[in-house]
């Protein structure tokens, strides 16, 4: 019985530790739209992954001059991400792509210059 109790305690401790570690890996930064167009979609994926993840904005957009806080909570322990920014069709701005170390990033400003 004592062995079972110790195993249950160890399992609970491991679960709590993994929950804390996953939360600590969330990447939070701000996107500033310094373009004349409306930013409609934002995709990211770790560098080296060939497919884009889901659109992070969902049904939100970032108008010219606006800022949005972004949280990437994918549970990964990587910092370097590829990013893809797509604008509304009427903005007439080509999609932009970049790679950044999101662990070091506090604010990312999108501009055409």
Q: Structurally, how many domains does the chain consist of?
A: 1
pLDDT for the residue 84: 96
Looking up residue 63, the CATH number of its domain turns out to be 2.60.40
Tell me if 12 is assigned to some domain: no
Q: Which domain holds residue 60?
A: 26-110
Structure-block tokens of residue 80? 């370097």
For residue range 95-110, list pLDDT tens digits in order: 999 999 988 889 999 9
For residue range 35-81, list pLDDT tens digits in order: 999 999 999 999 999 999 999 999 999 999 999 999 998 888 899 99
Tell me if 16 is assigned to some domain: no
Tell me if 14 is assigned to some domain: no
Tell me if 82 is assigned to some domain: yes
Alpha-carbon span 30 to 107, nearest angstrom: 5
Alpha-carbon span 103 to 101, nearest angstrom: 6
CA angle in degrees (0–180, nearest 5) for 103-53-77: 35
């Amino acid at each position: 019985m004592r062995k079972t109790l110790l195993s249950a305690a160890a399992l609970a401790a491991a679960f709590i530790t993994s929950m804390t570690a996953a939360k600590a890996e969330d990447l939070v930064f701000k996107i500033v739209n310094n373009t004349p167009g409306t930013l409609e979609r934002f995709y990211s994926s770790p560098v080296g992954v060939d497919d884009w993840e889901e659109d992070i904005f969902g049904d939100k957009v970032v108008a010219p001059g606006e800022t949005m806080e972004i949280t990437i909570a994918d549970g990964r322990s990587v910092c370097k991400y590829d990013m893809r920014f797509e604008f509304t069709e009427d903005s007439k701005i080509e999609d932009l792509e970049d790679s950044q170390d999101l662990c070091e990033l506090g604010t990312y400003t999108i501009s055409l210059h």
